[in-house]
């Protein structure tokens, strides 16, 4: 059984996807990575192959993408592998799942990006914020702690708000102080949570303005699992925002698709 491997080494998590020769999903997994990301990726690959009753020799090609791709050398495990930018991998992954997509918003643990596609899923333009945690998963983690709620409860809390408390700070540190100040003055937690999600959406809107927004808009990354981010992003962009079934593995899926595409065209991996 021929398999194609995609690995996405994010700042916080590792995502692995295995596709069969027909391009169908055979395995996918997500696990926290951190400083052990390289080993975590290998563990997930071995677990996936073992579950299929196969081994590394059955992997015909692999593509590694993401924040930490340069740290993940699979040449001793897979005969043919290469590295590719997360921009192109997210673009192909989204195009495969939602062909009508023209704008991709990816919000990861430590960065966010907006990618504009053409009808073939090729990248036309992109803008990226990788210098500040504002508008990322890390921002939400810090704010959940400041509000005293679990991260998974932050989105539902914001959606329950009847009003919002605007958050003016774009810096994570200053925004955290602003949240604490609002709470100390008796502000409703749900209203503050709503203001935080509006702030994230406005941050992404500014990023999107640099490349232009065309429908359909698709949101990927772990943050796409937060319903309030989806809601507020749709409000500020003034258009519906679509979310793939498993938004966190879109980059790894695109990487696996690139591996399959390259071999299907008879190209050699370096």
pLDDT value for 130: 65
**What is the per-residue pLDDT across 72-123, written as a single tens digit (0 to 9) for each?**
889 888 888 999 999 999 999 999 999 999 999 999 888 999 999 999 999 9
Flag whether 118 is in a domain: yes
Residue with the larger pLDDT of the pair 104 and 267: 104
* Residues of the domain holding 223: 99-243
- Tokens 């102080």 -> residue: 177
Tell me whether residue 270 is in a domain. no
Residue for token pair 């190209």: 267
pLDDT given for residue 211 in this prediction: 96
Does residue 264 surpass a pLDDT of 70?
A: no
* 239 and 255 assigned to the same domain: no
Lowest mean pLDDT among 168-172, 183-187, 254-258: 168-172
269 occurs within a structural domain: no
Q: Looking at the structure, tell me whether residues 190 and 59 fall in a common domain.
A: no
Q: Which residues have C-beta within 8 Å of that of residue 256, sequence separation ≥ 6?
A: 4, 5, 6, 17, 18, 19, 63
**121 with 199, same domain?**
yes
What's the CATH number where 130 sits? Answer: 3.30.420.40
Q: What are phi and psi of 211, to 5 degrees?
A: -120, -15
The reply to whether 132 falls in a domain is: yes
| 85 neighbors 106 (Cβ within 8 angstroms) | no
55 contacts: CB under 8 Å, gap ≥ 6: 49
Q: Does 111 share its domain with 215?
A: yes
Q: Is residue 187 part of a domain?
A: yes
CB-neighbour burial class of residue 125 (10 A; exposed 0-12, middle 13-18, buried 19+): exposed
pLDDT for position 270: 45
Based on the fold, state whether residues 85 and 104 are members of the same structural domain.
Answer: no
Task: Tell me if 166 sits within 8 A of 198, measured CB to CB.
Answer: yes
Residue 64 maps to a domain: yes
Q: What average pLDDT score do residues 145-172 get?
A: 95
Same domain, 206 and 106: yes
> What's the domain count of the chain?
2
């Amino acid at each position: 059984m021929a398999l194609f491997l995609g690995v996405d080494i994010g700042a916080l998590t590792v995502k692995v996807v295995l596709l069969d020769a027909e391009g169908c999903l055979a395995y996918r997994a997500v696990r926290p990575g951190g400083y052990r990301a390289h080993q975590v990726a290998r563990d997930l690959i071995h677990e996936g192959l073992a579950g299929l009753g196969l081994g590394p020799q059955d992997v015909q090609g692999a593509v590694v993408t993401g924040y930490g791709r340069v740290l993940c050398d699979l040449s001793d495990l897979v005969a043919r592998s290469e590295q590719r930018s997360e921009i192109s991998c997210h673009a192909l992954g989204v195009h495969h799942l939602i062909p009508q997509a023209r704008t991709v918003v990816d919000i990861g643990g430590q960065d966010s990006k907006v990618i504009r596609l053409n009808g073939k899923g090729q990248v036309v333009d992109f803008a990226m914020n990788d210098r500040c945690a504002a508008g990322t998963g890390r921002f939400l983690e810090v704010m959940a702690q400041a509000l005293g709620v679990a991260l998974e409860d932050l989105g539902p809390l914001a959606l329950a708000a009847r009003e919002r408390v605007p958050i003016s700070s774009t810096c994570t540190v200053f925004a955290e102080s602003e949240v604490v100040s609002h709470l100390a003055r008796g502000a409703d937690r749900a209203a503050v949570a709503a203001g935080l999600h509006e702030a994230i959406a406005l941050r992404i809107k500014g990023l999107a303005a640099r490349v232009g927004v065309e429908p359909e808009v698709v949101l990927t990354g772990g943050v796409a699992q937060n319903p309030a981010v989806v809601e507020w992003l749709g409000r500020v962009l003034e258009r519906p925002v679509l979310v793939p079934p498993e938004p966190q593995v879109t980059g790894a899926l695109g990487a696996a698709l690139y591996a399959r595409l390259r071999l299907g065209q008879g190209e050699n991996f370096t």
